[in-house]
Structure 1
């Protein structure tokens, strides 16, 4: 593989020959501020905390599996296990008993066999399930030392301290909680643990915003949708200093509504994944956040190496001129040591340069990195390649919908492309399929237009990581038809 660095004066090839198989290639990184060796969350406090769920399986000090009830006791127990060098796993609070016990068995097996793999360093491991998993659950193994580094970066980057009040909207088995919960508590701040089952209760959510006056909020598209729904009465919450958006694209109309709700806030678009955690960040003022058609992914977080693989040539992301289109490859100081599969360690996929292939397609232009779509969400229909995220984004660009979800169905009669969508606001009625189809035609070629458009009267059902749950969406549509 070739490695190409982009400079402001010219493009230069760093390695003119592919790296030999197994060779070590050193790529530039920068240092991470305020390294931490232990996870200490005791300085902060949790408001609206629930009691610890009874579905807990603990194997002495070596390992523990927990439902991610938003409990102070849960966080203290997990951090204690990690600091002792054990393995702690968090599963969705609403997971079935079969799923829970399957995870617990995997964790127990991994704790017993981890020493067999030289790739697993000593120290604590936090195991989080990946979103959208099917079949046997796959767990991402995050080292406690890396989490401590990330927590230190988050505290420094956003100035967390005793006066920080973070509104935690996402489940605690979701990796976003490492920033809005773990990092805040480690800095002595307060975490307001919102009940994710009540996020679309506008009175409940507006009440939390009013009572606790949060200063920091992190959202994924579904929780941002809940926030703007709660603030649809033109309420403003000037206590909020920072709003972090992660996990996907959001319609410009929803971003504009968020900017009105939080008039004193800076807005940040953060890119990452469970395997590597956050690695890119871009900051906007309210006007930029409201009006930009698409938000750039941002610049590399200190310590993170970010490259674009353009047909075998690696272009380094370094905020300078140059252009490249391809898959995003990253390496972070806090990335996972691998997966836990069938109770044993399984390494992360990596290039010979030890970069993690994200499967996300990006475009680099003049130092600005734009998201294009998932490599593994590209389908072929009507003889053409179509990325499902392009279909979803074209619906969002119309400002006629709040959220969208596309999928391909295959039957004996052929293939059909489907798109489900929600109304742009709680008080709005969903537009007709014809209206949406006409609006989407301005952004989407005819061969990529969905065969079937499905309007949702309420919010999408979401999975344990706050993302649209396709299985539940399809089940609700089937129930509505019968």
Structure 2
């Protein structure tokens, strides 16, 4: 787990499994012995900084063996690591470091040099933020920042220990397994496909973030290293099935992040003929909280998020505030054995967490429907509900209709301000290679399935992938901002 216990476990692997592969990045292989030695090197250098016990340090989450070893060293020394996206601008990185009361920003080079830059404290910026508790959390992740400044989320060591135990049992993981780690190191998916696998003494194939959109490279990684475990957003699977390759060693395929389109199920099933397929659902605050076993031969129209995993309680809060007792629709509230104790920002914690019948629930902001059999379907986000000409419109439903067009690879729909309608919809669409899809044809398709108010007023079609956030999800804020700039120039 992201704690001294994980670091000690990896050190044990470094002694007993010294020549076994721990990490692969591009053409480089790092054994457990080498990872353990590198971790010890960074421990020695941390001691030279004479940091106070329990101090917080900022470690930009570059996805390299060196950064992973540095994080293990931080855990070993009882420090707390704030691990934000390395793609954050300098101002945002400084603000997060000040909010977390980090003493230094630590980075490492390929030559193993450790750079420690002091963080200029700012009590005004840190006001309202609780200090990280090293007795409960050794790792601070951040949300994607899709609604503004990223929130700092302490990952409870006990919570991760429970999660790792659940995942190991659920997927039957062993030291012989090989994970493809596609998501950035600062994303919560790394809790499973990096940290849980290292705890097991298994192998992790790191996808170089600079080559994450290189489909042939990702395909080669899975094929060359006999990967057995893959988890990722739909874009990962689009890349893996493009060449029609077959990945027989893969035992488990995990869909996460966004809903996988039905059109991908058949090619994914063909690409992984020996795999079991699972849709998992959760967020940084709760880790995975739902799981659904997928039968690719039975398209569902829209994939359920499934049922609560063991130890998770889920409630549906209806629009009137009442808790649905059986089937119903409303906001999803969850309580998991893996969730954070709260944001460092205490005011946000008060808003996001609520106690019901003695258990703390996280208000996800997700709108769901639960049927009589206890199966949950995601309807969208509460903040994805907009009014177009006074009519409430679900952006996710519009996206699903557009994405169902056979020439569409991916689609995002964003609301834009409009003087007459209040809000108008804009669709940003990535089409399949060699497609001749036009905006007129796409709007005609939308008109067959959507009411008039829900048909996007403007459509931008491109042959390149959608822009992404640091967590691999479509960057809706950037798409919206770019479109607004275009319309004002």
TM-score range, shorter chain: 0.7 to 0.9
TM-score of the pair, normalised by structure 2: 0.80
CA shift, 1:83, in A, is 5.5
Q: Does 1:351 align with 2:354?
A: yes
Distance (Å, rounded) in 1 between the aligned partners of 2:131 and 2:63: 34
Contact 1:339 1:347 survives alignment (8 Å): no
Q: Does 1:209 align with 2:222?
A: yes
Contact 2:80 2:134 survives alignment (8 Å): no
Q: Does 1:375 align with 2:378?
A: no
Q: Which stretches of structure 1, 4 residues or more, deviate above 4 A after TM superposition?
A: 49-52, 56-61, 109-114, 116-121, 344-348, 411-414, 474-482
User: 1:104-115 alignment to 2 at 5 Å?
Assistant: 104-108=97-101
Contact 1:199 1:226 survives alignment (8 Å): no
CA shift, 1:38, in A, is 2.7
Match in the other structure for 2:271: 261
| Cα distance, 1:297–1:462 mapped onto 2, change above 3 Å | same
Q: Deviations over 1:417-451 (max 9, x none)?
A: 1011111x4x3425111222222233321111110
Match in the other structure for 2:179: 166
User: 1:11-26 alignment to 2 at 5 Å?
Assistant: none
Q: Does 1:467 align with 2:470?
A: no
Distance (Å, rounded) in 2 between the aligned partners of 1:444 and 1:128: 39
Match in the other structure for 1:314: 323
CA shift, 1:158, in A, is 1.1
| Cα distance, 1:430–1:362 mapped onto 2, change above 3 Å | farther
| Unaligned residue ranges in structure 2 (runs of 5+) | 14-20, 31-37, 105-120
Match in the other structure for 1:17: none
Question: Pick from 78, 83, 90: which aligns with 1:90?
Answer: 83
Contact 1:348 1:356 survives alignment (8 Å): no
Secondary structure class of the residue paired with 1:267? strand
Match in the other structure for 2:112: none
CA shift, 1:465, in A, is 0.6
If each structure's helix is expressed as a fraction of its own residues, which one has the higher value?
Answer: 2
User: 1:369-408 alignment to 2 at 5 Å?
Assistant: 369-408=376-415
Secondary structure class of the residue paired with 2:196? helix
Secondary structure class of the residue paired with 1:313? coil
With 160-169 and 103-112 compared, the bigger mean Cα shift is at 103-112
TM-score of the pair, normalised by structure 1: 0.81
Secondary structure class of the residue paired with 2:101? helix
Q: Deviations over 1:59-102 (max 9, x none)?
A: 56522211211223323432443455432111113222222222
| Cα distance, 1:121–1:70 mapped onto 2, change above 3 Å | closer
Match in the other structure for 1:445: 451
Q: Deviations over 1:443-480 (max 9, x none)?
A: 32111111011112110110101011134435666898
Q: Which of structures 1 and 2 has the larger relative contact order (alpha carbons within 8 angstroms, sep 6+)?
A: 1
Distance (Å, rounded) in 2 between the aligned partners of 1:374 and 1:315: 18
Distance (Å, rounded) in 2 between the aligned partners of 1:37 and 1:347: 30
Distance (Å, rounded) in 1 between the aligned partners of 2:247 and 2:287: 29
Question: Pick from 329, 332, 339: which aligns with 2:336?
Answer: 332
Contact 1:107 1:340 survives alignment (8 Å): yes
Q: Number of aligned pairs?
A: 433
| Cα distance, 1:282–1:376 mapped onto 2, change above 3 Å | same
Secondary structure class of the residue paired with 2:344? strand
Contact 2:292 2:306 survives alignment (8 Å): yes
User: 1:405-416 alignment to 2 at 5 Å?
Assistant: 405-412=412-419, 415-416=423-424
Distance (Å, rounded) in 2 between the aligned partners of 1:220 and 1:77: 27
CA shift, 1:233, in A, is 2.3
Q: Does 1:363 align with 2:376?
A: no
Contact 1:237 1:261 survives alignment (8 Å): yes
User: 1:174-193 alignment to 2 at 5 Å?
Assistant: 174-193=187-206
CA shift, 1:103, in A, is 2.0
Contact 2:58 2:102 survives alignment (8 Å): no
Q: Does 1:294 align with 2:302?
A: yes
Question: Pick from 48, 66, 74: which aligns with 2:25?
Answer: 48
